[in-house]
Structures are given as structure tokens and as C-alpha cells.
Chain A
């Protein structure tokens, strides 16, 4: 097993938009080590979202190789990718993306359900909620929670399967600065306690300042990669 949890070699992604080919990634290479906290920054159109989608196994590169936790995932089928996402990737979105009809507990249980876990599922989900400080909110539905609390539920959902990486897309984008910094603290503490690799896509340089390394993208390649 290599030292890298993420190893991407000359990734290319071309979208066909009508007649025009859009080159979102142009031979991008990047490595991220286990337990690292990394921010991905860049102006819009720089290929940030595309890179995040490929790192999160939501999409496949047009060319290039991508290893996630030692597995070559750039050539897998849709269902194989779904399994990888389930086991290795935890997502935190800007808009939370919780199931509005389901309780916090049911939302956190969701990845376990698709993993086929049936024993102790409820208990695992409860522990995940406790670890984000929502042990007393397990039967609440999203519309009964504040933005910060919803994002905490989303983080609990992301870490319940003990993934290799947590991928956060503007995790504080929809929050006020106070709950935003609380969420950042929570993410950082998860990294400290569990050693989970944390990859944050953001515009916000304050958020990026909390990380160990910032990868700047421009026009589909890494422009700057500094500690």
C-alpha cells in the first residue's frame, strides 16, 4: 500500500457541451497523504468541482489514473463506484442534502443501509451523532434543526462508515460565521481523533487557513501547491 490515500496521475476530463468540448481538467496530477488536511481552491471554471467529483468517485476521468486508498477506481462501473463511495468517501455538501422526511438518526443510517449493515446500525448511527454533539437530537427532522445542526448531521452521516476520506464542498458556505467556525472545528477534531483525511473545496481563504496544505487550481491544472 502506498503512502498516498489519493494518487491522481495526469487526469483529463472533457465534457461535451453541445458542439463545444470543454476541457475541465488538463492532465492534472495530485497526491494526498493519509491523515492530511487539504484545501482545494480556485476560481470558478478552474476544474474544482470536476476534481472533487472524480476524487469522490461520483465521476470518472476521461483519461488518466486515479487511485483511492490503493485501489484503481478510474475504470470501475457505476455500481462498483457506488460501493467505493459507500466504503471510502464521506460527503459533506454546502446545502446539507439531508432527507427532509427522515429523522437525524435515519439520515445517518442511510450509508449503513446501502452498505448492507443490519446489526447495530442504529447504535452506530447514534454514536456518530453523539460524536458530532447531537446525541439529544436523534429523533428531530431537518426542519426542526438549525443550519449548523443540519451540517452536523451531514458530518455524522459522512463519518458513520469510517471512510478513508471526508470530502467537504464549501461546508460552511450556507452558515453564519459562528456556526461556520464550529463546523470547521468539528471537522478538524475528527481529523485529529480518527486520522480521517479531510479534503475541503472552498472559496473562503479563512477556511483554507485552517488546513495544512492548499492546492490552487487554474484552468484544469494545479497552479500552486503549498504548505
Chain B
């Protein structure tokens, strides 16, 4: 018997018991839809996080105080450390260094006030981190020298305080009670990932150091953001920075009191976490597919019992064992394949809806349905049908014709 014919006959036989077939298919539909939705949402989240890490800039390295936990009293990173790293003779792979002070502060204008992230940055920060202004200008060397009371607003902060994010240059607002003049508005980077980069304000590094974010020692910085000359030289730059800081901090061998992380380190960590998450969610969803498979097996066993006489007759008129086996296997595979196809559509719909909901809540997860996951789901669901159909089909095929014909 040809495959096409077996397929048609299976459809015919399944349609003679529509409700039962539909309920069995539903089990597979739920399983496949859950797998597809979970995996695609997981991948969407992964892409969002990856994008937001890549959006920070290119070829970046981050230098923090403190190394492994055993190292006591780590020395702070200072401005002079930053200057040493910026020296092209000591660190040829380093393109630019931006020291950062970070904290939070209350910003008020008129009756409105908001608490937001406050960064003390140098003019180089704009290039290192790919920041642009939608109006006004970035912090300049003059602002640095004069410890000027000027501020750059993120668009969300401007929105919160003024109800708009344009035409604000020259306005005066208060940060921690001190007056600051607005010199520009940052271009929106879009709310994404872990921190909202539109909800922050920048002041000149020197101003923050002197008046807003005072540290225990004067030239201490919270973090250095370093950009390497190109992507190949990121590991080299990391090595050079480590060498300079080891010398300057006089650390013992193998006991660094600082940490250098590259953008790739963040990406790797984030990918590891989201991969684990995706596998975990997909695994839970796969359990429901398994349950669906057991449903198929159950219904096929019932069907074999019900059709014992039919099997006996087919054998009497010349059906071989393999003919009966193929007949019942085809039925269970058709069940699971139909379930798989509907499940793919449903999974796609669910992940699209989740994407919409996420977008409406500013989370911007774009569920990604890869062709690979669709293929895997199709193959997996047919495999489920095949596997769980094998036992009932084999049972049907090995019925003795005499007994099957006599069965009431």
C-alpha cells in the first residue's frame, strides 16, 4: 500500500471519530505551541539583552575596583590611573578612557521633582558610549575646567520634569538643591534591557566630584570605561590595562585588586543566563508534549481494541503484519502531525501576542520564531506520534486473525 493511500485512509478513519481525534490532537497542539512560544520568547529576550549590551558602545572594557574576594583593602581606581591607561605609550591598544562617577540625586523644576541616576562624565564619554544629543551640546572641556553647573538630561527625565523633551536648553533646574543650567537633551536610546538609558542625567565629571558625588578620596572614580582601538585588540587592551594597574597598585602576583570586564564578557554571561532560561522554559513545555504523546497512545490503544474485528478481517483478506502496523502508525503520526502544525500556528500567535504585550509595557521583547525551531517542533511531534503509536500499532499487527475475527 502506498504512503499516500495510507495517509488518506488514516484521515478517513480519524474523521469517523471527530471529537475523539480533535481532543487527542489538542494535547499535541498545546505541547507544540508551548514549546514554540517559550523558545521564541526566550530567544526574543536574549536578543533584546544582547542588543542592549551591544548598544552600550563598541569594543568597550569596564574597569572596577576590587578583584577576587580574598584581596583585602583594594585600592580605589583614580583619575591618575585613568590618565596612565590613556597614555598611548603604556597602552597602545587603548583608544579612549572615560572615568565615571555614578550615583543618584533628586532633580526638581518648579513643583515637579524626580529621583534619577546621576553620572559625572568627561567629554570623551560621548564618543566612548555612542551618546548623541538631540538638542544643545555635550559636556565640553571648558565645563570641566570651570566645574560648571550644567546638566544634560535624558529624554525621560525631561519628559517627567517639563512634560516635553525639546526646547529646554537654557532652563535652570535644581539637583540636590543646587541650581544647574540645561545645556542639552540626550538622544533617546530606547528603553530596553536592565536599565533605562533615557532616565539619567549627566553633569561634568569635575562638578560631580566637587559638589554632587563626593568620594572619600578626592581623585577617586567609580568606574573607567575604556574603548579599544578595534575589536581584535580588546583582549590586548585588557592585558595592558591590567599590567598598568598591577604596577600602579603594587598588587601581589595573582591578587589583582581590580576587575576588567569586556563587553564580550557581559554578552557571554547574558547569553548563558538566557540560554539556561530558554532551555528551562522549553523543557517544561516539552513535558506537555510528552503528555500529549501519552494521550495519543491511550486513544490508539482504545482504537485497536474497538477495531479488533476489522483487523481480523483485513488479515483474513491478506493484510500482512506490516500493513496493519503501517495503518495504525500512520494514524498516530497523522494525529500528531496535525497537532504539530496547529501547534506551530498557535505558538506563533502566542509569541506575537506576548511581543505586543511586552511592547505595550516598554519591555520590547521581540519573540523570534526561527525556522529551526519550527522544524524541530514538527519533527519532534511526528516522532512523538511514531513513538507512542508504535506500541498500539504493534499490538494490532500481532493479533491472531482467528481470535480477532471471533472478537465481540
Contact = CB atoms under 8 A, between A and B. Distances in A.
A22 interface: no
B309 A114 contact: no
Interface string A23-37: 000000000000000
Interface in A57-84: 58-59, 78-79, 82-83
Contact of A101 (B12, B313, B320, B401): B12
Interface residues of B, number: 24
Choose among B12, B320, B321 the residue with the greatest number of A CB atoms under 10 Å from its CB: B320
B319 to A, nearest CB: 5
B287 interface: no
Interface in A161-189: 161
B13 A78 contact: no
B321 A79 contact: yes
A79 B318 CA distance: 9
B239 to A, nearest CB: 73
A48 interface: no
B13 A114 contact: no
A13 to B, nearest CB: 11
A82 B319 contact: yes
Given A58-B402, A59-B402, A86 B12 contact: no
A99 B313 contact: yes
A115 B316 contact: no
A97 B318 contact: no
Given A97-B309, A99-B310, A101-B13, A58 B318 contact: no
Q: How large is the interface on A (under 10, 10 to 19, 20 to 34, 35 or more residues)?
A: 20 to 34
Nearest to A99: B310
B313 A79 contact: no
Given A97-B309, A101-B16, A114 B405 contact: no
B319 A114 contact: yes
Contacts of A42: none
A110 B405 contact: no
B167 to A, nearest CB: 77
B88 to A, nearest CB: 82
Nearest to B319: A114
B403 to A, nearest CB: 10
Interface string B1-24: 110010000001100100000000
A3 interface: no
A212 interface: no
A56 B316 contact: yes
B371 interface: no
Given A58-B316, A97-B313, A114 B402 contact: no
A2 B1 CA distance: 34
A85 interface: yes
A126 B322 CA distance: 27
A114 B1 contact: yes
Nearest to B313: A97
Contacts of A78: 321
Contacts of A87: 318
Choose among B16, B314, B322 the residue with the greatest number of A CB atoms under 10 Å from its CB: B314
B16 to A, nearest CB: 5
Contacts of A110: 314, 317
A140 interface: no
B320 A83 contact: yes
Contacts of B5: 113
B315 interface: yes
A58 B401 contact: yes
20 contacts: A53-B402, A58-B316, A58-B401, A59-B400, A78-B321, A82-B315, A82-B319, A82-B320, A85-B315, A85-B317, A86-B317, A91-B316, A97-B312, A99-B310, A99-B313, A101-B12, A110-B314, A111-B317, A113-B1, A113-B5
Interface of B: 1-2, 5, 12-13, 16, 309-310, 312-323, 400-402, 405
Give 3 nearest A-B pairs by CB, closest first: A86-B318, A114-B318, A111-B317
Given A58-B401, A114-B314, 17 more contacts: A53-B402, A56-B316, A59-B400, A78-B321, A79-B320, A82-B320, A82-B321, A85-B316, A86-B318, A97-B309, A99-B310, A111-B318, A113-B1, A114-B1, A115-B318, A157-B317, A161-B318
Interface of A: 53, 56, 58-59, 78-79, 82-83, 85-87, 91, 93, 97, 99, 101, 110-111, 113-115, 118, 157, 161
